[in-house]
Amino acid sequence: MPGTRTHCPYCALQCAMMLNPSPTDADAVTVAGRDFPTNRGGLCKKGWTAAELLVSPDRVLEPLLRQPDGSFEPASWSDALDLVAAKLRGTRAEHGADAVGVFGGGGLTNEKAYQLGKFTRVALGSSRIDYNGRFCMSSAAAAGNRAFGLDRGLPFRVHDLDTADTILILGSNVAQTMPPFIGHLEGARAAGGLVVVDPRRTATARLTDNGAGMHVQPTPGSDLVLLLGLTHLVIAKKLTDQHYLHARTTGFDAVRRSVNQWWPTRVQEHTGVPVWQLRELARRLAAGAARGQATGNGTYILTGRGVEQHVDGTDTATAAINLSLVLGLVGTTHSGYGTLTGQGNGQGGREHGQKCDQLPGYRKISDPAARAHVAGVWSVDPDSLPGVGLPAVELLGALGEPGGIRCLLVHGSNVVVSAPNANRVRAALKTLDFLVVADFFFSETAVLADVVLPVTQWAEEEGTMTSLEGRVIRRRLAVAAPEGVRSELWIWQELARRLDSASTFSAEAGEVFDELCRASAGGLADYSGLSYELLDSEEPAFWPYPAGSTGTPRLFLDRFAHPDGRAHLVAVQARRLGAPAQVDGTLTLITGRLLEHYQSGTQTRRVRELADAQPEARLQLHPATAEQLGIIDEAWVEVSNDRGTVRCRAQVSTDIRFDTVFLPFHFAGDQRANLLTDDETDPVSGMPEFKKTTVRVRALVEAGAHV
């Protein structure tokens, strides 16, 4: 039997792989890397082990209904869906359509993301849908929209980076979060042009160790000041690209004035980055940009969650864009700014209607023309479509509140582990009248559900994903799904029918994709020229891809997406200078990822090789801090603040600033980093503060006591 060409189920790099029939087990497949411009046959260990989960003994294999005594009992699909439909109807009748909420995910295919948005607005009539991309891409997306008029994570191809002269990476640990990606940094690295900004000396930061690279190690949350300071230096030293600013942008004067006060010693004071490093970095970026114009080997600025997941994340991403614009990098043939999208379909998942203010094609639900177009495709009255709903953190905050949400459907997120202020989220979920979780495993969120609906996994379904470079790719069915599980497209079709929906819902991925393409036509994320046939030919397919076009590998070459065709520099200010941590014995906690685990860990904690390599959370802290607190490597510690307490072992390491500690967020129970994080959000994007939390740390036993 021939193998199946597909892509990895996990992150946004969407490495290409083959799924081949297993020689030993007729029901199983094995994974092999496949040549593709992004991964060139390479995979990380999550990708290599991905197929194990298809045959995991932990799989939920039939719908489960909670019983009055709290236990779960299996049920038939028709009984389970009848019950869900009855509860949805009852809630709507008693409390109104907005009392039903929907929480989606950036791991869903484009077809599912689109259908979930339509199902919520049409079959449920509710405005209250949002998704976990709010925790992930929202700040960068908001910054991209206001600067360029369009949000595509990388407005260029990943392999365009291969020939770069200089690459500045802020707050991303790609060496662990997208390992094959670092192949594309090799050129800049060899040229001594790789610069990594991270409070930790990560595997990515260590790539700069070849003599000429730079690792800049600011205090957490100070990147906005750092970027304002770099922009100040570029302007003060007259290193801006005046011709570019004049021809292609607006807003430079306001930005020039806004960075005036950020002279290097003041930036040093607030970021901990030495003046010499600031000057050197500004000089390098400008020299790289100038060289690029002659050689075509460009300069790129890339941001990740480390700088975006803050309450000033939108402004920080905006400041990174402003710096790129004053250097003349964006919308050229050889340079650029980009954000590294995270989840498998983090890009497509934010284009087709899962966001609370959005309709397919990256349209605004508040725009009458967009409503009319999409309502036409759905054959419903535009006035029947609800308005803007609530962004994720507010949506979770409305659970069980008066006038809030009584009934919630979760598709593709494990909020009990991954949402900020996890104690509050868990308590709020328990106040609901009815919680439905669709998953393939008993996630920590599914455990709280009234109904668990078991769904197909990646290799058991057809669909499309849009990768971090805006390339639409095919996910293909390689194995039959276990008998008792169903696709979400089928589930929504069945529920919509039971709810007497005004529009029809197909359960065929190809049909849903064709409808999505029509709904997106004329929108910013226009897919109307795409089809499964074209994608199956493996022709590169970068959106916008209007009918009759051949797609857009590099965006903005002629114009930006604002009506005036220009990029907009937006002046931003650092409002959150606060006292440095440690003044009263507190430390700054940052959270993030380990190579072996994916997100809330529902999947990777069930893969033996990955769980053995990283079985539990460990708090990374500096030896000097550890000594002060009487903590030795591997000893148990307690990390706490007003919101919660985490207990885990210590990992003493010089790879982190002495005033900062780090926890991965992949673990459950009292090792959830999100027991500590705050649910305060960025006012523009709704992004919570995941990367800067004040905590106290203490040893749970005297150092050495248990040796």
Ligand X SMILES: Nc1nc2c(c(=O)[nH]1)N[C@H]1C(S)=C(S)[C@@H](COP(=O)(O)OP(=O)(O)OC[C@H]3O[C@@H](n4cnc5c(=O)[nH]c(N)nc54)[C@H](O)[C@@H]3O)O[C@H]1N2
> How far apart are the C-alpha atoms of 419 and 429, rounded to whole Å?
12
Q: Does 610 bind ligand SF4 (CB under 6 A)?
A: no
**Which of residues 9 and 353 has its CB atom nearest to ligand SF4 in the complex?**
9
304 counts as binding ligand SF4 under rule CB under 6 A: no
Q: Which of residues 94-123 bind ligand X (CB under 6 A)?
A: 105-108
Q: Which does 347 bind (CB under 5 to 8 A by kind): ligand SF4, Mo ion, ligand X, none?
A: none
**Nearest one of 197, 187, 203 to 226, comparing CA atoms:** 197
**Are 375 and 385 in contact, with CB atoms under 8 Å apart?**
yes
Could you say whether residue 197 binds Mo ion (CB under 5 A)?
Answer: no
Binders of ligand X among residues 646 to 685 (CB under 6 A) are 665, 673-674, 677
Give the burial class of 528: count Cβ atoms within 10 A of its Cβ; 0-12 exposed, 13-18 middle, 19 or more buried.
buried
Give the DSSP letter of residue 120.
I
Distance of alpha carbon 437 from alpha carbon 443, whole angstroms? 9
Minimum CB distance to Mo ion smaller for 106 or for 149: 106
CB nearer to ligand SF4: give 610 or 646: 610
CA atoms within 13 A on the CB side of 404: 15
Q: Is 181 in the site for ligand X (CB under 6 A)?
A: no
Is 548 exposed, middle or buried (CB count within 10 Å of its CB: 0-12, 13-18, 19+)? exposed
Give the residue closest to ligand SF4 by C-beta.
Answer: 47
**Is 147 in contact with 321 (CB distance < 8 Å)?**
yes
Smallest distance, Mo ion to C-beta of residue 340, A: 10
Amino acid identity at 651:
Q
User: In this structure, what token pair is assigned to residue 496?
Assistant: 């919509």
**Contact region for ligand SF4 (CB under 6 A) — 6-14, 302-310, 456-464, 531-539?**
6-14
Token pair recorded at residue 521: 């036509």
Q: Which positions ≥6 away from 487 have C-beta within 8 Å?
A: 455, 456, 461, 481, 507, 509
Q: Considering only residues 334-393, where is the footprint of ligand SF4 by CB under 6 A?
A: none
Give the amino acid at 587. L
Please, what's the b/e burial string for 411-430 (b: 16 or more CB within 10 A of its CB; e: otherwise)? Answer: bbbbbbbbbbbbebbbebbe
Minimum CB distance to ligand X smaller for 151 or for 488: 488
Which residues, in sequence order, are CB contacts of 458 under 8 Å at separation 6+?
Answer: 6, 9, 50, 475
- The three-state secondary structure class of 331 is coil
Question: Per rule CB under 6 A, is residue 11 in the interface with ligand X?
Answer: yes
Residue 47 makes contact with ligand SF4 by CB under 6 A: yes
- Residue 171 interface partner, choices ligand X, Mo ion, ligand SF4, none, CB cut-off 5-8 Å depending on type: ligand X
Residue 459 CB, nearest approach to ligand SF4 (Å): 13
∠4-51-492 over CA atoms, to 5°? Answer: 80
* Of residues 271 and 603, the one with the C-beta less far from ligand SF4: 603
Count of residues in contact with ligand SF4, rule CB under 6 A: 14
Counting contacts by CB under 5 A, is residue 639 touching Mo ion? no
Give the residue from 455, 361, 365, 364 showing the smallest Cα distance to 121. Answer: 365
Asked if residue 544 has a cis previous peptide bond (ω within 30° of 0), the answer is yes
| Footprint (CB under 6 A) of ligand SF4, residues 167-226 | 178-180
The values of phi and psi at residue 3, to 5°, are -80, 175
Determine which residue in the list 130, 151, 160, 198 makes contact with ligand X, applying CB under 6 A: 198
Stretch that binds ligand SF4, among 13-21, 429-437, 439-447, 500-508 (CB under 6 A): 13-21
Q: Could you tell me the two tokens for 201?
A: 């000396």
Query: Which range binds Mo ion by CB under 5 A, 133-141, 144-152, 212-220, 354-362?
Result: 133-141
Q: Give the C-alpha separation, 489 to 611, whole Å.
A: 32
Contact 636, 701 (CB under 8 A): yes
Kindly state the smallest distance separating residue 14's Cβ from ligand SF4, in Å.
Answer: 5
Query: Going residue by residue from 21 to 40, which x/- string records binding to ligand SF4, judged by CB under 6 A?
Result: ------------------x-
CB of 63 to ligand X, least distance (A): 13
Residue among 414, 421, 467, 493 that touches ligand X (CB under 6 A) = 414
The interface region with ligand SF4, picked from 10-18, 75-83, 510-518, 557-565 by CB under 6 A, is 10-18
User: What residues line the site for ligand SF4 (CB under 6 A)?
Assistant: 8, 10-11, 13-15, 39, 43-44, 46-47, 178-180
User: What residues line the site for ligand X (CB under 6 A)?
Assistant: 11, 105-108, 132, 135-136, 170-174, 176-178, 197-200, 202, 220-221, 223, 304-307, 309, 342-343, 411-414, 417-418, 438-441, 443, 455, 488, 590-593, 595, 597-600, 602-603, 665, 673-674, 677, 690-691
User: What residues line the site for Mo ion (CB under 5 A)?
Assistant: 136, 342
